Structures are given as C-alpha cells and as structure tokens.
Chain A
Amino acid sequence: MTIQYRIAGSDLQLVEITLQPGEAAIGEPGAMMYMDESLHMDTRLGDGRNVGFFARLSGAFSRAFTGESMFTTVVENKTSAVTKVAFAAQFPGQIMAVDLAAHGGEIICQKGAFLAGTRGVQVGLAFKKRLRVGFFGGEGFILQRVKGEGTAFIHATGAMTEHVLGPGEALKVDTGCLAAMQTSTSYDIRYVGKMKTALFGGEGLFFAHLKGPGRVWLQSLPMHRLARGLFNQAMMGRGKGKLFAYGYALFVIIAIIIAIAGERGGS
C-alpha cells in the first residue's frame, strides 16, 4: 500500500507524511519541520535500514558523494495511532512524490535531490559513464540513484514538470534542468546547432537530450542559476555594491605594492 502524503505550499513546499502504526519515514537531516508529539526522531548512519554496520557505512559514504549527508533522520510510528511528520524543502522549489515501484524500482536524480521517503528507500551513487555528458550535461558525473520499495520525495529548485516519454520520443532540455529520470531513459547531449545560437542564444553550447521510454522530471530553475541571479543582484543591484567591489580591489592592490616595496627596501 502506498503511503499517504500531502504536499503543501506553492513556491516553497513541504511534504506531510501520514504514518500508520508501524510505518516509518526517512528524511534529510535538518529537513524535519514538525511531527506529532508521540513520534520520536532518530538519526542513523546511512539509509536508516536495519542492516549491518559495514553495509550502512559503505552506504553512508556513497550517499555523501551524491550530495546527501552520511546520516539519515528516521521517524517511526511506534504508537497505535495515526501520526504525521512533515519535511520541508530548504530553498524555493517543488517537491515531487515518486512511487519507485511504478518506475522500475529506481530513478536517477541530480545531486542533492532526495528530500524524504518511506523507510526502505535507499540513496546510492549513479555514475554517468559518458565523458561529454558528464562535462557538459549540466548535472556532472555523479548523480543519485534512488531505489527501493515505497515512495521517494525529491526536491528541486524552480517549478517542476513531469513528462512521460514513449519509445523513441525525445526532448531537448536546457542543461541543468534535468531533476530526475527513469533508468530506461537515455541521457545524452547535443550541440545547439549554429554558432550564432551557441554564442548569443544564452543556452550555452549544448542541450541535454532525453530519449524515452520513461518518465522524466524537469525543473525550471537550476540552483546555480538562481544563486547566480541573486548574487549578481546583491553585488550590482545598487551603485554602492559596485563601488565597494572596486574599492576593495584597489585596497588589495595597494597592499600588495606596499608589501613588495617594503621587502625590496629591507633587503
């Protein structure tokens, strides 16, 4: 039986999971927002599954490479009542619920996408073996492999959309806008076409090319683009920012000149 949940919020979301007696939810450390008084939060190494120490330790290491913490928060309903626990996203964006069994048992997500899930969901390492895709695809070489039984809640910045691609059906996607995909989907890159488009189109030199069969989840605003936009505003938005930056640069140059002059004079 799939877990009951409710995703609330518009641009900043949280997922509230309903735990029947005996059910448990896992989440990113720090993501827990609220839970019923009778629930307890436990932090475990690795995925929170009941396996041996070394299995958990190796799991923890591979998680760490994929942008997750080595630890997991586990919230188990040990009471006989129905309880709720909520996990919140930590930046503007959307949460998508993914029933892993309905997608072949595992999905591939971008680094850091996993937010929460039912106990039994594992986050492991997925390595993209094509060099050019790793370098230019916008997601890097290391992605998350989220697998197991149950539901996974993944989170990405921007607005998220899902597309089901039939056999041979393909989409050209802006690099960095891929949030998650099924393993049966092919992920490659394509050159944008003309040099003029490449230079002035604002999309860079490559597109990500996603070819079905399978479902893909896309995000409208990758984190690095959001951060860059905010940062640029912070630095350049008001005249003061620019002046401050130039002034600081000048200060550093003067300091270096004084240091060099001092050394030459002394020797």
Chain B
Amino acid sequence: MIPAQLFGGDIPTAGLACTLRFVGDVLQVDGSDLPAVPASAITLHKGGFNDTGLFVEFAIGGTRYSALVNNPADARRLLAAAPPSLRPQSGKFKRGLGAQQAKWAAVVGVLVIVLTVVVGFMTFSRQAAALLATQVPQSWEEKLSKSMLADLKREGQIVDKGPEIEALKAIGPRLTKGSRYTYTWVVVDEPSVNAFAMPGGLVVVHRGLMAQAQSAEELAGVLAHEVQHVEQRHSLQALIHMGGWAAISAVTLGDISGFLAVAAAQAGRLSHSRDLEREADLKGIAALRRAEIPPEGLERFFARMAKDSEDIPPELEILSTHPNSAERQKAIAAEIKARPCTACKPIALDWKAVQAHARSEL
C-alpha cells in the first residue's frame, strides 16, 4: 500500500490522495473509483520538480491518468512488487535515480577535493614552498647575485679596499665551508645598519653595520645569519610562498581586482618571512659553532639593537618582516644556553681598527 497522488480526468489540480499496490499483473488504485489497471497499459517514468518522483501512467477509456509516488523509498517498494513485464521500465527508473545521485556525489566530491587542496596548501604552504625551492636550478640563483653585483658596481658604492673588506673576507669563508655556492663578500658605503644576501652567494654588508658592531664575533653572527638565508634558499621560498598564496587567494576569494589577493599574499608573506628569519637565526648559530666562532656575538648584537633602535613594538610585529628584536635576542640566548660551545675561540682580528676605520669613513 504505497501512498500516491492521482491526477487526470476530472480530478482537481491538487490531485487525489490514494494508495497503489500491485496484485499479480494488475495495479490497484485504492481511494479512487478506478478499476484495476493491467500492467500492459502502464508506463513508468521519473519526473516531478525534484526529479525523484515515480509516475505510473495509464489510460482508461481514453482518459489519461498519472499516479505520482513522491518518495523514492516508497517507489522502490512499489516496484519490488511489480510484475515482470514492467521490469525494464522499473530498472530504467532505478538507474535514473542512481545516476542523479552519482552526478551530485561527483559535484560534491570535486568541491571537497578543491577545498582540501586549498586547505592543504594553506596548512603546508611552508613545506611546499621549501620543497619547490630546492627544484630551482642553482644557475638561476647565481644569476640573481650576478645581477645585483653588477647593479652595486654601477652605483659605485662598493668598498674594495681597507680593513672592513679584509675582515669580511677573513670571517666569511669560515662560515661557508662545504657550501654548494661560491660566495662573494661585498662592503658598501652606506651608513645604515644593514646586511643582506642574494640567492646564489652574494653577501652585502653596509659600512654602518661594521661601525655599529662592537666585536668581530658580532659581525660573524650577522654574516652567519645571512649565509643561512642563502643556504636555505629563503628568498626563493618566500617568492614561491607568496606566489602560491596570491594564486590561492585569487581563486578562493574570486577577487578579480586582485586587491584582496595581494593583501592576503602580503599577510602570508610577512608571517612566512618571520619564520624564515627565525630559521636563519637558529641555523646561523649552528654554523657559528661549526666554524668555532662564539655565537654570543649575535646575541649581543640583537640585545643592543633591541635597546637602541626604534624597534617594532610587539603588538605590531604582525606587520613586520622580521620578528621583534627583543624576541630574537631571547630565542638566540635560549639556543646558545641549551648547547654551549666549548671549542669556540674569539676571532683573531683587530676589530677596534676595523670599527674605527668604518666610523671615520661614514
């Protein structure tokens, strides 16, 4: 006894509630005054707004009738009792239901996959960027260094004689033993306290930094940090990471103007950049230990930076590429304390002379 709505003939548009059942080879429509309908006169099809309704259609005395079973479960029950002559049509209905469900499952599945990829990328973006960075050929990285060196030469600020560059060339190679890159050490006549490294092995130190550093170990600390940026391919990782984020943001946020994509990419970049800086600090300390240079120099440098310069307040750190100096100093101090370096010896260099020279030239 399957509930259904009967339509046709003089029945009002709302339909007539009735029940259907197959008795042998005929269909009984209880609740209406229709006679039993032989199976041979019945056609079955799928329809209704939801496309999941079973229509049992037949004609009696020239008038067409249609009984609609709305619920698919009810429809299956009714068809289970249907006579064999209706099997082909019944099969077609059931297959149609299945096909519809499969199509929607596929659509939902695709959406879930896309979502997983996006979320996966967002979670593992760092590791993915690091992995991709290792695939970039070394020659490409070296091109960047060569190009920057050419720019610096053109700008005419390179200091190629004097105690500063001698000190750099004495300390630098100790930190780069066994590296796959060939390093170029450069001092530029800039008063700001800065140093940076390009992918491929160019390390540039500003005169201002040499004037600020109180010992050779401090300079060594900064150099170790910069060398690690090159060794770990941080610039490439950052580029890949930012590119990935921009692409993901544009795809998920669907923002054609790209404003949101750029903003999201920037936010991602900054946090990633801070992670890379922290990595450079910690790996730099390891490199110093290997070179038997006391790592305390780096710590003292940051302690002074935190005290002196206008530093980023902790609250605004989220907008900065570097972690806040006080935080860096604490992290470095903890790392040094955890693994003290017994074999480390102070660098044999007349730092006072270097610093004095740098200060005088500025």
CB within 8 Å of B: which residues of A?
101-105, 108, 126, 128-131, 164, 166-168, 181-187, 211-215
Contacts and interface: CB of A to CB of B under 8 A. Distances in A.
A22 B104 CA distance: 46
Contacts of B65: 167
Given A126-B49, A131-B107, A186-B49, 12 more contacts: A102-B13, A103-B13, A104-B14, A128-B49, A129-B51, A167-B55, A167-B57, A167-B65, A184-B5, A212-B7, A213-B68, A214-B7
Given A129-B104, A130-B51, A213-B66, A184 B15 contact: yes
Interface residues of B, number: 24
B268 interface: no
Contacts of B50: 129, 183
Interface of B: 5, 7-8, 12-15, 47-53, 55, 57, 64-66, 68, 100, 103-104, 107
A166 B5 CA distance: 13
For the complex of A and B, list the 9 residue pairs with the smallest distance between their C-beta atoms, beginning with the closest. A167-B66, A213-B7, A186-B47, A167-B64, A167-B8, A183-B49, A104-B14, A215-B13, A213-B66
Contacts of A101: 14
A186 B7 contact: no
Nearest to B68: A184
Contacts of B64: 166-168
A168 B42 CA distance: 13
Nearest to A211: B47
7 contacts: A126-B49, A129-B52, A168-B66, A183-B49, A184-B5, A187-B49, A214-B13
Contacts of B103: 131
A167 B12 CA distance: 12
B108 to A, nearest CB: 12
Contacts of B15: 104, 184, 213
A163 B114 CA distance: 44
A215 B47 CA distance: 15
Contacts of B55: 167, 186
A131 B102 CA distance: 12
A168 B44 CA distance: 11
A123 to B, nearest CB: 16
A209 to B, nearest CB: 11
A191 to B, nearest CB: 18
A104 B100 CA distance: 25
B48 A183 contact: yes
A126 B51 CA distance: 12
Contacts of A211: 47
B123 to A, nearest CB: 30
Contacts of B104: 129
For B48, B53, B57, B104, the residue with the greatest tally of chain A CB atoms inside 10 Å of its CB is B48
Contact of A185 (B5, B48, B100): B48
B48 A186 contact: yes
Contacts of B52: 129
B14 A102 contact: yes
